[in-house]
């Protein structure tokens, strides 16, 4: 949306997009400059519209608006790549020469050569301090990035030219940082006996596997659930961010008929048929020809972050959401997306040993929040991709689109994952552990009333919970006709006293 008001002029990316007639995904921050001296900020759905006072007007040149964009709109690598396609190298060269030591001019120079892989006709710098490509106060970056002596820039980006996401340090992400989440988790874990945690583990794995299938609307069988659980157990110990390992995990979790031996070679998309030859398209995946480079970049980004001191939650969000947006396989992408969250949180030691986070269960309980995290990328993407569908529903993408997948802003997704992990720790884990603790107390109370086999005690508790703390006459006569009235009343009372647990109504089948 453009503001064409007499006292507002577009600046930064918004100016360049209009001037250069770029069709692109809008930047999260949009700048205009007021001629009347007013200043304001309007924030809606994560997008910021900021009006600057007159003295902020950068001028009329491309270089000035590029500098303004880096200063106030942030680093948007996809838009920079599109801008550099349209601007003659001479224009950039002249601007950089006019500010030979300016940090923004040097960043423009560095980003141009990083993104286009072409060199500007400029001599290497020989003096001046090094500056970071991304300001570490504003972005998540890798520690000890490579020094580019040509530009006197430290490359602290999260990825490579093939795949380089950006995650901004928002207030929400700083409040939910990985260290705070880990500390909260450790506090909870130490509050319960180790034996209880061990017993909870098998149920948590089961819950996570079932939830992963349910989110993806995939039919689960007991054997498929067990296979996925076996994969989740492996995820705690080994790094799966490798092409062969990803193919291995895909082969494990899909129907044998849909196993892939390489990345997909067909154009795919996510959509639904609403009538004959009428599809609603929700998401368009990268073209198959672009996939090998994108996936190589994703895996290189993982390696950079793994050794670069990037917080585990940001690392997991970038790789897991990056993976599902690239959609490299014909089938199983969604479940591998959930799997990769566990894999990275485990190998980066956010999850304490002997515990697992049923994050998919939280996503399943909060479908709107999960959908929003996917749509933050998928919806704007639809506006910049030209495609056609044939009568068989086969898609052809007709314009160059790789830039939008190569340089995603995954801030919203990192925020969403942080919130899901917090809910997992403070709600799912606590509820499950409290239920088990209450269950143990109930079991002991019943054993004090009558000494009967564990199997019958479990059945009594389960049937009682189904009846809101009462055993029906039919179920008593079918299973517990040997109980006296006094024993029955006392046992029902013992079950009801566990009703304080948020899980008290839960059927314990499979727990």
Written in H, E and C, the secondary structure of 347-362 is HCCCCCCCCCCCHHHH
* Burial label, 279 (beta-carbon count in 10 A; 0-12, 13-18, 19+): middle
What pLDDT, on a 0 to 100 scale, did the predictor assign at position 503? 37
CB contact at 8 A, 130 and 145 = no
What the block records as the tokens of 102 is 């300016």
Distance (Å, whole) CA 412 – CA 313: 12
What pLDDT, on a 0 to 100 scale, did the predictor assign at position 292? 97
Region 446-467: mean pLDDT is 89
pLDDT tens per residue across span 380-418:
999 999 999 988 888 999 999 999 999 999 999 999 999
What pLDDT, on a 0 to 100 scale, did the predictor assign at position 224? 86
**Is a pLDDT exceeding 90 seen at residue 505?**
no
Please choose, from the candidates 137, 172, 170, the residue with its C-alpha nearest in 3D space to the C-alpha of residue 418: 172
Please choose, from the candidates 174, 426, 189, 406, the residue with its C-alpha nearest in 3D space to the C-alpha of residue 292: 406
DSSP string, 122-185: -PPP-SS--EESS-TTTB---TTPEEETTTTEEE--SS-SS---B-B--HHHHHT-HHHHHHHH
Region 362-374: mean pLDDT is 95
CB contact at 8 A, 165 and 407 = yes
What pLDDT, on a 0 to 100 scale, did the predictor assign at position 271? 84
- For the ranges 193-202, 349-358, 368-377, the one whose mean pLDDT is highest: 368-377
Distance (Å, whole) CA 319 – CA 35: 44
Q: pLDDT band for position 194 (50/70/90)? A: confident
CB contact at 8 A, 180 and 187 = no
Region 2-18: mean pLDDT is 79
What pLDDT, on a 0 to 100 scale, did the predictor assign at position 275? 57
Q: pLDDT band for position 4 (50/70/90)? A: very low
What pLDDT, on a 0 to 100 scale, did the predictor assign at position 411? 97
Comparing 41-45, 322-326, 327-331, 353-357, the range with the smallest average pLDDT is 353-357
What pLDDT, on a 0 to 100 scale, did the predictor assign at position 403? 97
Give the β-pairing of 47-52 and 131-132.
Answer: unpaired
What the block records as the tokens of 70 is 């880096």
Q: Please give the C-alpha separations between residue 461 and each of 456, 482, 491, in angstroms, as whole numbers.
A: 9, 16, 9
CB contact at 8 A, 423 and 363 = no
pLDDT tens per residue across span 265-313:
999 998 876 555 677 899 999 999 999 999 999 999 999 999 999 999 9
| Residue 510 or residue 327, greater confidence | 327
- List Cβ neighbours of 457 (8 Å cut-off, separation of 6 or more): 443, 446, 447
**Is a pLDDT exceeding 80 seen at residue 134?**
yes
Calculate the CA dihedral of residues 496, 497, 503, 508 and round it to 10 degrees. -60
Comparing 135-144, 187-196, 369-378, 478-487, the range with the smallest average pLDDT is 187-196
What pLDDT, on a 0 to 100 scale, did the predictor assign at position 439? 83
Distance (Å, whole) CA 198 – CA 38: 61
Rg of the chain (C-alpha set):
28
C-alpha triplet 242, 245, 250: angle, nearest 5°: 120
How does 5-21 read in b/e, with b if 16+ C-beta sit within 10 Å?
eeebbbbbbbbbbeeee
Q: Count other Cβ atoms within 10 Å, centred on residue 249.
A: 22
Mean of the per-residue pLDDT values of the chain: 90
What pLDDT, on a 0 to 100 scale, did the predictor assign at position 291? 97
What the block records as the tokens of 77 is 């690598």
Helices (H), 20-138: 62-68, 77-86, 89-98, 103-116
Please choose, from the candidates 298, 338, 342, the residue with its C-alpha nearest in 3D space to the C-alpha of residue 322: 298
CB contact at 8 A, 35 and 11 = no
List % helix, strand, coil for the chain (3-state, nearest 5): 55, 10, 35
In percent, the amount of the chain with pLDDT more than 90 equals 64
Q: Which position has the token pair 């129907």?
A: 255
Distance (Å, whole) CA 12 – CA 67: 8
Q: pTM score, two decimals?
A: 0.89
DSSP 3-state of 430:
helix
**Domain 171-429, architecture per CATH:** Orthogonal Bundle (1.10)
Phi first, then psi: what are they for 35, rounded to 5°?
A: -85, -10
Comparing 67-76, 295-304, 337-346, 461-470, the range with the smallest average pLDDT is 461-470
pLDDT tens per residue across span 209-219:
999 999 988 88
Distance (Å, whole) CA 502 – CA 363: 18
Q: Which position has the token pair 């940082």?
A: 177
């Amino acid at each position: 949306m453009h503001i064409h008001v007499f006292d507002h002029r577009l600046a930064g990316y918004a100016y360049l997009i209009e001037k250069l007639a770029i069709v692109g995904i809008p930047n999260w921050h949009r700048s205009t400059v007021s001629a009347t001296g007013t200043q304001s900020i309007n924030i809606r759905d994560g997008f910021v519209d900021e009006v600057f006072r007159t003295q902020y007007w950068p001028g009329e040149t491309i270089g000035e608006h590029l500098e303004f964009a880096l200063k106030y709109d942030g680093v948007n690598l996809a838009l920079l790549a599109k801008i550099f396609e349209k601007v003659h190298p001479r224009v950039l060269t002249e601007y950089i020469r006019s500010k030979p030591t300016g940090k923004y001019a040097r960043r423009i120079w560095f980003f141009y050569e990083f993104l286009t892989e072409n060199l500007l006709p400029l001599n290497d710098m020989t003096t001046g301090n090094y500056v970071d490509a991304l300001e570490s106060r504003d972005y998540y970056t890798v520690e000890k990035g490579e020094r580019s002596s040509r530009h006197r820039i430290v490359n602290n980006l999260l990825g490579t030219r093939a795949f380089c996401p950006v995650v901004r340090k928002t207030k929400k992400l700083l409040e939910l940082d990985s260290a705070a989440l880990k500390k909260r988790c450790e506090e909870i874990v130490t509050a319960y006996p180790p034996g209880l945690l061990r017993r909870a583990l098998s149920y948590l794995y089961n819950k996570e596997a079932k939830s992963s299938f349910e989110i993806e609307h995939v039919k689960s069988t007991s054997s498929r659930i067990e296979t996925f659980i076996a994969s989740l157990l492996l995820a705690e110990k080994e790094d799966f961010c490798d092409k062969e390992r990803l193919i291995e995990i895909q082969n494990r979790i899909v129907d044998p008929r849909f196993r892939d031996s390489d990345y997909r070679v067909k154009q795919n998309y996510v959509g639904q048929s609403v009538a004959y030859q009428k599809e609603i398209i929700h998401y368009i995946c990268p073209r198959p020809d672009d996939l090998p480079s994108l996936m190589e970049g994703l895996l290189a980004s993982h390696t950079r972050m793994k050794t670069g001191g990037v917080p585990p939650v940001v690392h997991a969000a970038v790789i897991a959401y990056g993976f599902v947006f690239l959609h490299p396989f014909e089938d199983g992408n969604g479940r591998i997306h959930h799997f990769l969250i566990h894999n990275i949180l485990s190998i980066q030691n956010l999850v304490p040993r002997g515990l697992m986070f049923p994050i998919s269960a939280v996503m399943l309980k909060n479908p709107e929040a999960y959908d929003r995290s996917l749509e933050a990328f998928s919806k704007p993407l639809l506006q910049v991709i030209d495609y056609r569908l044939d009568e068989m529903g086969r898609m052809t993408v007709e314009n160059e689109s790789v830039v939008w997948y190569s340089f995603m802003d995954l801030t919203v997704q990192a925020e969403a994952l942080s919130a899901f992990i917090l809910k997992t720790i403070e709600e799912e884990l606590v509820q499950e552990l409290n239920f088990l603790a209450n269950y143990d107390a109930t079991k002991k109370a019943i054993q004090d009333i009558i000494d009967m086999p564990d199997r019958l005690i479990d059945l009594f508790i389960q049937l009682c919970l189904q009846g809101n703390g009462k055993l029906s006459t039919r179920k008593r006569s079918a299973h517990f006709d040997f109980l006296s009235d006094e024993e029955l009343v006392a046992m029902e009372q013992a079950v009801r006293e566990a009703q304080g647990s948020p899980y008290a109504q839960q059927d314990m089948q499979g727990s």
